[in-house]
Amino acid sequence: MKKLLAVTLLGAALTATAAQARDNDTVRIGLNVPYEPMEYKTASGELTGFDVELGNALCQQASMNCQWNEQAWDSLIPSLKSRKIDAIMSAMTINDERRKQLLFSEPYLVQPSAWFAPADSAITATSPEALKGKRIGVQRGTLQDNYVTDEYADANIKRYATADDIVIDIESGRLDLAFLDYPIGKTTMLDQEDKQFKTVGEMVSEPKKYFGDGFGIAFRQRDTTLAEKFNAALDELKENGTYDQLVIKYFGEAALEAAKP
Amino acid sequence: MSVEQLLQTIAGYLNGNDIFTVNTLGMYWDGFVNTVQLVFISLLIGLALAVPLAIGRGSPLKLVSKSIWLYTYIFRGTPLLIQLYLAYYGFAFVPGIQDSWLWFFVQDPLYPALFAFTLNTAAYTTEIFHGAIKSTAKGEIEAARAFGMSKAMMMRRIILPSAFRRALPAYGNEVIFMLHASAIASVVTIMDLTGAAYYVYSRFYAPFPAFIFVAFIYMALSFSIQGFFRHLEKRLLVHLKPNNR
């Protein structure tokens, strides 16, 4: 009986190490879908987008085995810290608040935030006074959420789990404005032929306290080697032109200069 | 003490605490008000609906009893979350609704949520009451008939009072269940208790403080509901207690 127990325990220990070894080879990258065009799924269910294509290229360049792991936006950072994933590449803006918790790669894309409204909206100004009492939709836990919560205390702020829910509600007239990363609003609202939307006011990328330094890949603070691998791969992709191709593919030729951090 | 002073005293206690600031506590308070409001109103309307529905559920008219059965079957057979999604996102896309007077109710997340919660709790309460009515002792009914009571009077004086008493413990459970089920209201942007906890969690990346704090609030609410029902049971079910003189 004792022997049997010992054998079973040994077996369990062996499988446990085997499982751990597998985990160490694969870099599990967390992301939140849909966030078109940064990350979304094609009609056939295939995961794609700027982050996904760039991420795959980076992993290939650094000869790493990567695996995408879809999650709710607000569980990404806790998952990273509790080692359920090893990196976050999900249009996450680098800012000081997040730097306290995470280690970031060099920024790989800079995009402003923007206000979106239905085309027939009468709203023209976006100052906190002008938007008093207006219904503003943001994605919960994003820097847009933090900015609006702190600066637009008199507005009626509605927090959604995904960016798509915001589009649905602004379409049905439940929101006056949506405050999103510009490329996401552009793809999900401005570029849709059957929907009538416009941007209101200026693009927003200040103050840096909220809007930070562009999108970065997030790691646990101790994983410096992993971050360096990604940084090196990013430099190589920028040199060999792969990076430029991807920016042009997703944001057009004109965006190339603005997008580069 | 004015509100201002109160806030200052609280701020004093919170010195050096990053997460539970006056701001986030204010958010929890708003969430508390929203949750209690949502649950209380839907329970009240649900209860008012459930009484006639429970009587109708036992009606000899097949059309009446079967359609009420179908209603409770649908609402008890599907998750509340799905019902909430349908009420919130579904109604908004009914053609023409945006121009009608109904839009006032649909555009605010509170009313679709109230609608879904009310119909859901009414369905469960109907079945609870129906079960209690059905289990009325035969002798009581025979006695009532022997007194020459009409059906309506028998229902009013004999069946319903005793059925409500018997349904009380099960209904108390339903109330607590409803409180806990209301935690899904935050998916349609209502800032309820869970919504406030979600906000604190995603802003400070601190799941434990945010959710444990809110769990304690829910627990306190549950205990007060339990206490209330225990008190009611003590008064109303006194005749069912073992007689230990």
| pLDDT at site B8 | 74
Residue B80 to chain A, least CA–CA distance (Å): 18
Do A125 and A191 share a domain, yes or no? yes
Q: Report pLDDT digits (tens) over A65-103.
A: 999 999 988 889 888 988 899 999 998 988 887 888 899
Measure CB to CB from residue B189 to each of A81, A146, A158 and give the nearest one: A158
User: Is residue B184 included in any domain, yes or no?
Assistant: yes
| pLDDT at site B56 | 94
A contacts of B192 (beta carbons < 8 Å): none
Residue B227 amino acid letter = G
Q: Report pLDDT digits (tens) over A167-193.
A: 888 888 888 999 988 888 888 888 877
List all residues of chain B from 83 to 122 with a beta carbon under 8 Å from chain A: 89, 92-93, 98, 103, 107, 109
List all residues of chain A from 134 to 153 with a beta carbon under 8 Å from chain B: 140-141, 145-146, 149
Residue bearing the bigger pLDDT, B120 or B99: B120
Residue bearing the bigger pLDDT, B22 or B172: B172
Do A134 and A204 share a domain, yes or no? yes
Place of tokens 């330094």: A213
Give the CATH number for residue A146: 3.40.190.10
Do A121 and A204 share a domain, yes or no? yes
Mean pLDDT of chain B: 88
In angstroms, the CA B58 to CA B53 distance is 9
- Indicate the range of B11-20, B85-94, B146-155, B203-212 predicted with least confidence: B11-20
A118: part of which helix (H) or strand (E)?
A: strand A113-118
Do A97 and A34 share a domain, yes or no? yes
Q: Report pLDDT digits (tens) over B156-213.
A: 999 999 999 999 999 999 999 999 999 999 888 888 999 899 888 877 777 788 899 9
* Interface with B, mutate which of A90, A172, A210 (most B CBs under 10 A): A172
User: Is residue A10 included in any domain, yes or no?
Assistant: no
Give the CATH number for residue B178: 1.10.3720.10
| Torsion of the alpha carbons at A71, B206, A227 and A70, rounded to the nearest 10 | 0
Residue A134 to chain B, least CA–CA distance (Å): 13
Confidence of residue B1 (pLDDT cuts 50, 70, 90): low
Closest-CA residue to B28 (of B38, B16, B19): B19
Range list of H helices, chain A = 2-25, 50-61, 76-81, 96-99, 143-151, 163-171, 182-185, 208-211, 224-240, 242-251, 255-259
Measure CB to CB from residue B93 to each of A81, A145, A172 and give the nearest one: A172
User: Is residue A150 included in any domain, yes or no?
Assistant: yes
In angstroms, the CA A243 to CA A32 distance is 22
Q: Do B198 and A74 touch (CB under 8 A)?
A: yes
Q: Do A159 and B187 touch (CB under 8 A)?
A: no
A contacts of B198 (beta carbons < 8 Å): 74, 140, 159
| pLDDT at site B153 | 92
Residue bearing the bigger pLDDT, B150 or A24: B150
Confidence of residue A20 (pLDDT cuts 50, 70, 90): very low
Phi-psi region of B30 (alpha: psi -120 to 50; beta: other; left: phi over 0): alpha
Instruction: Give the sheet arrangement for strand A26-31, strand by strand.
Output: A65-70, A26-31, A87-88, A218-219, A103-104
Q: Do B207 and A172 touch (CB under 8 A)?
A: no
Do A106 and A217 share a domain, yes or no? yes
Q: Do A159 and B205 touch (CB under 8 A)?
A: no
- For B157, residues 6+ apart whose C-beta sits below 8 A from its C-beta are B144, B149
Measure CB to CB from residue A101 to each of B98, B191, B205 and give the nearest one: B205
A contacts of B207 (beta carbons < 8 Å): 78
Domain that holds residue A60: 21-110+213-259
In angstroms, the CA B110 to CA B188 distance is 9
Confidence of residue A5 (pLDDT cuts 50, 70, 90): low
**pLDDT surpassing 50 at residue A22:** no
Q: Do B187 and A161 touch (CB under 8 A)?
A: yes
| pLDDT at site A19 | 45
List all residues of chain A from 45 to 84 with a beta carbon under 8 Å from chain B: 73-74, 77-78, 81
Q: Report pLDDT digits (tens) over A135-152.
A: 999 988 888 888 888 888
Mode of pairing for the β-strands spanning A197-204 and A113-118: antiparallel
* Residue at which a domain ends, from A173, A195, A211: A211
Q: Do B203 and A101 touch (CB under 8 A)?
A: no
* Interface with B, mutate which of A169, A194, A195, A210 (most B CBs under 10 A): A169
Q: Report pLDDT digits (tens) over B69-81.
A: 999 999 999 999 9
**Long-range Cβ contact pairs of A191-196 (< 8 A, separation 24 or more):** A195/A171, A196/A118, A196/A119, A196/A120
Domain that holds residue B142: 22-238
User: Is residue B1 included in any domain, yes or no?
Assistant: no
Residue B189 to chain A, least CA–CA distance (Å): 6
Q: Do A77 and B205 touch (CB under 8 A)?
A: yes
Please state the rounded mean pLDDT for residues B89-107: 82
Chains A and B: how many Cβ contacts under 8 Å? 45
* Interface with B, mutate which of A73, A74, A144 (most B CBs under 10 A): A74
Do A178 and A121 share a domain, yes or no? yes
In angstroms, the CA B77 to CA B74 distance is 5
Do A171 and A244 share a domain, yes or no? no
Q: What share of chain B is helix, strand, coil (3-state, %, to 5)?
A: 80, 0, 20
> Bridge partners of A198?
A117
| b/e per residue A138-163 (b: at least 16 CB within 10 A) | bbbbbbbbbbbbeebeebebbbbbbb
User: Is residue A236 included in any domain, yes or no?
Assistant: yes
Do A170 and A55 share a domain, yes or no? no
Do A139 and A171 share a domain, yes or no? yes
Mode of pairing for the β-strands spanning A47-48 and A40-41: antiparallel
* Residue at which a domain ends, from A178, A194, A211: A211
User: Would you call A201 exposed, middle or buried from its count of C-beta atoms within 10 A (0-12, 13-18, 19+)?
Assistant: middle
Q: Do A140 and B98 touch (CB under 8 A)?
A: no
Mean pLDDT of chain A: 83
User: Is residue B40 included in any domain, yes or no?
Assistant: yes
**pLDDT surpassing 70 at residue B241:** yes
Residue B111 to chain A, least CA–CA distance (Å): 13
Q: Report pLDDT digits (tens) over B136-155.
A: 999 999 999 999 999 899 99
Does the model's ipTM exceed the 0.85 cut?
no
**pLDDT surpassing 50 at residue A45:** yes
Do A55 and A27 share a domain, yes or no? yes
Residue bearing the bigger pLDDT, B209 or B34: B34
Do A63 and A36 share a domain, yes or no? yes
B contacts of A161 (beta carbons < 8 Å): 187
Do A138 and A178 share a domain, yes or no? yes
Total structural domains within chain A: 2
Place of tokens 């847009």: A144
Residue A109 to chain B, least CA–CA distance (Å): 23
Total structural domains within chain B: 1
Q: In chain A, what percentage of residues exceed pLDDT 70?
A: 88
B contacts of A81 (beta carbons < 8 Å): 205
Residue bearing the bigger pLDDT, B89 or B21: B89
End-to-end alpha carbon distance in chain B: 51
| pLDDT at site B107 | 83
